[in-house]
Structure 1
Amino acid sequence: MTDDLPAVRCTGLRYAFGDNVAVDGVDLTVRPGEVFGLLGPNGAGKTTTIRLITTLLRAPSGVVQVFGVDVARHRMAVRRMVGYVPQQLSADSALTGRENVALFARLFDVPRGQRRVRVDESLAMVGLGDAADRLAGTYSGGMIRRLELAQALVNAPRLLILDEPTIGLDPVARASVWRRIGEVREQTGMTVLVTTHYMDEADQFCDRIALMHRGRLRALGTPAELKANLGRESTLDDVFRVITGDDLESGGGIRDVRAARRTARRLG
């Protein structure tokens, strides 16, 4: 492997749940070191694509590579390179912050002799060193999201994947999470692949954006390029509306709604 290989390369990626085609022939390349935004309405195929990249689902057709490593053939090697913060909360409120991160260190098979140092470093990276021994149940919503970021960072991943990392957070907490993401990226040079429904976040923090709709990529470019295609003074919200056609019926089902509401309630 070399650093000039794409962080992620998907070719002809397809996945269906029964008769519902969630990902339909996706070709996608994420460059090393960039913040790449994968946008689209609920049900567009974003989370399914992420699960295929992170080895949580097996693609029946198409190829996925992470830094040149084939996901289907070398699942464990890929998992060692990836940190993943899912949309649903993964922190245990009955454990301390340190215990949560230590649990993920074991799950990621961080060598025993390195675990304590890795846990401390991850907590420090997200600004939770002083709160590490408090129960996670006492954390604010923003702190919880930063704790989950620490969990994803404990194996020192080359690729960090964030699925709706700021869902349910107030503007101050959202800014805090993104500030920590930026700081970690600056320290490590890692690649970040993120999904979000907040167009202002995508516009401000993403180097490039892909817009998905009905399982397919509909647009790709920098935020400035996508806005320029619509003309003067356009916004990413405008781009989103044009691509999706304001088709509210295409959104995710009741499970998506319930998951989003549960996450928002738990984050306060």
Structure 2
Amino acid sequence: MPELPEVETVRKGLITLIGGSTITGVDVFWNRMITPPFSSEKFQEVLVGEQIHTIERRGKYLIFLLDHWAMVSHLRMEGKFEVTPTDTPYKKHTHVVFHLADNRDLRYLDVRKFGRFSLIPIEKRDEFEAIKKLGPEPTASFFKVEAFQDSLSRTGRAIKTTILDQEVVAGVGNIYADESLFQAAINPMKPANRLNQAEAERLHEAIIDVIARAVEAGGSTIRTYKNTLGEAGKFQVALKVYGKTNQACPRCGTAIEKTKVGQRGTHYCPQCQGPISDYQKKE
């Protein structure tokens, strides 16, 4: 699933490519991607003539700001946007197409068809329920250590599960949760409310640092991710534990292990972060 760094990179690319463009038509080939209360037909109708002024991001959501509408898009597992000349044949898994006035298309492709589009009147864009529930962005300006510590103190869930909760901190997914926990030297299965102040502070700093470095590198290409310019991310070369099962820990040389925490594949160093067996009965 594209996480915050990948979605932010897509946002920047889309602004470069289609900022200021006007939509002249919309085709929807998989109606379930359009969320109620709008039908697919109504979605296609009301977007004609709308100009794309800019694109914002909140957590893993992209928010297209148009004349009268905010169009919220979530890429889910494998969604991606491409900008291409209108006469280019459609690729397999093309599900939503926005035709632009300059004879180009903005096309949404999604192998699993999990992506979704929602429309909100522009004056009510801050009322979109899913975005209202999001926690702070993982930057020093918004993500405050005191509030983070308070969130941790309120739950006995595994710390990895806790930081994947988008209401605790927005935009962190599986890759960057593993990397942040390794950088902070915290066992991914340790109950959140058992982290001491020093551990919470280290993890808070690690999340901000890892996400910032990943954004700068354009995200991580693990499977199919490419940005809207067709470029792969570069942060995968900086990953320390994610996807490194049985490879030597860069810190101590111990073999990286993989387990499941909250049904999510989880990579960690059993020496630097401690053995999972210390916490398995509590997960």
Instruction: Tell me the TM-score normalized by structure 1.
Output: 0.29
Rg larger for: 2
Q: Which has the higher contact order (CA 8 A, sep 6+)?
A: 1
Larger helix proportion of the pair:
1
User: What TM-score do you get using the length of structure 2 for normalisation?
Assistant: 0.28
